[in-house]
Amino acid sequence: MFVRCFRTYERMAKVAIVPGNGCDEVRDCNWYGWAEQQLRKVDNVECALQNMPDPLYAKRSIWLPFMEKSLGCDAQTIVVGHSSGSVAALRYAETHRLRGIVLVSAYLSHMGDQLEAASGYFDGDWNWEAICSNTDWIVQFASQDDHLVPFAEQMRVVKELKRFKEVDVREFTDRNHFMQDAFPELIDVIEQRTKA
């Protein structure tokens, strides 16, 4: 008698958390360290979270190569970008294939802030079509009471992305700039999207 054994393998997902600027020790900043610990408990998910070089200015010329070389962002990676990290995620997706993107407090202009203007992310036009074609899905978390990124600015990102791809928008009224210690809704999204 001949018996064949088949084992099914789910596709391993990598999650790279790209923080907002100003975090020297990312594991102690906002929800980043908490999320890393929670994601380690999710089946078939590995998490990359590292202190970013140039944490205050978050320069495009430094962060995008770091995302590729140190965080290992590739076609199996879900990039979770918060604030400046969301802008880095979008710019990275213009030229790199990703599994998915989770944007938290995303924006598309420097909004008159000199630090943001010097980052390099806002030099040149956005390639929204490339961003959308280089990722399987996009989720955006936005809060109406965000004191750093106006809600209208966050919705401008959604509007641009929706020209080329459906965006799963998770809208809140009371999360401000998503600087809390825990972010269970993020873990729910990763669990849902990695099982799909």
Active-site residue flag, 110:
no
Catalytic-role residue among 61, 74, 83, 181: 83
Catalytic-role residue among 54, 74, 110, 177: 177
Q: How far apart are CA 40 and CA 58, in angstroms?
A: 26
The total number of residues shown for the chain amounts to 196
Q: Count CB atoms within 10 A of the CB of residue 68.
A: 15
Residue in the block written with tokens 């990763």: 190
Rounded to 10 deg, the angle between the 32-39 and 184-195 helix axes is 40
Active-site residue flag, 146:
yes
Q: Which amino acid is at 154?
A: Q
Tokens matching residue 98: 């990703």
Catalytic-role residue among 28, 133, 146, 181: 146
Q: How far apart are CA 86 and CA 67, in angstroms?
A: 12
152-to-16, 41, 141, 143, 191 alpha-carbon distances in Å:
27, 35, 13, 10, 29
Q: Residue 53: helix, strand or coil by DSSP? A: coil
Torsion over CA: 112, 115, 117, 122 (sign): negative
Active-site residue flag, 147:
no
Cβ contact 18:42 at 8 Å = no
Which residues are marked as active site? 83, 146, 177
